[in-house]
Chain A
Amino acid sequence: EVQLLESGGALAQPGGSLRLSCAASGFRFSTNVMHWVRQAQGKGLEWVSSISDTGLSRYYVDSVKGRFTVSRDNSKNTLYLQMDSLRAEDTAVYYCAKDRVPVVPGTGTFDNWGQGTVVTVSS
């Protein structure tokens, strides 16, 4: 059974930093493109970032470029999102998600999701 477990969400001050983690199990993590998707309270879904199986290719939504960094450790089956220069508009539930097919560059569809971790940016 595929399991994705996010952690690291917390209350952070504007301009601060957080590092989210997503521990994966139940599938061959090292061969899958992985994604981060966020959802502000009461709002819709927003794709944030994606990373290729090797970590060599990384993609971001424009609003987080230069502030967020996605990475992965295939030896630990873990996905990360380093969030710097946080803004109030980054407040959301952050989900990690697995790409549907283990191909590069990925399909861009998400067949398994974690339960999410809450990030709140406020002074």
Chain B
Amino acid sequence: EIVMTQSPATLSVSPGERATLSCRASQSIGSKLAWYQQKRGQAPRLLIFGASTRATGVPARFSGSGSGTEFTLTISSLRSEDFAVYYCQQYNNWPPITFGQGTRLDIK
């Protein structure tokens, strides 16, 4: 099973600033990496797939990068609605599909 590790567990950033979230895979997954946003009390929302392709309707301030085992989600200028928990997920040669433990993005 591929283990996904996200860092940091919690990130505190001020509105308008840039946030950088990291995700590491225990083995190479190519570009088979997705990012999801989950707000309190809501279902997750797909943000990025293929490591860097934004899902339909996702604002351009969200960008993904990386390949192999190291991946990054960057939010270029944080807005109030961006404060949430973010999960990375690998889907290389699934099953199984595995998620990271999440990064909580808090308002500083």
Contact = CB atoms under 8 A, between A and B. Distances in A.
Interface of A: 35, 37, 44-47, 50, 59-62, 95, 100, 107-111, 113-116
A109 B96 contact: no
Contact of A114 (B43, B49, B56, B94): B43
A5 B101 CA distance: 26
Given A109-B49, A113-B43, A45 B91 contact: no
Contacts of B44: 37, 45, 95, 110, 113
A115 B43 contact: yes
Contacts of B38: 45
A61 B100 CA distance: 15
B42 to A, nearest CB: 8
A59 B91 CA distance: 13
A44 B101 contact: yes
A111 B100 contact: no
B89 A109 contact: yes
Contact of B91 (A37, A62, A107, A114): A107
A7 to B, nearest CB: 15
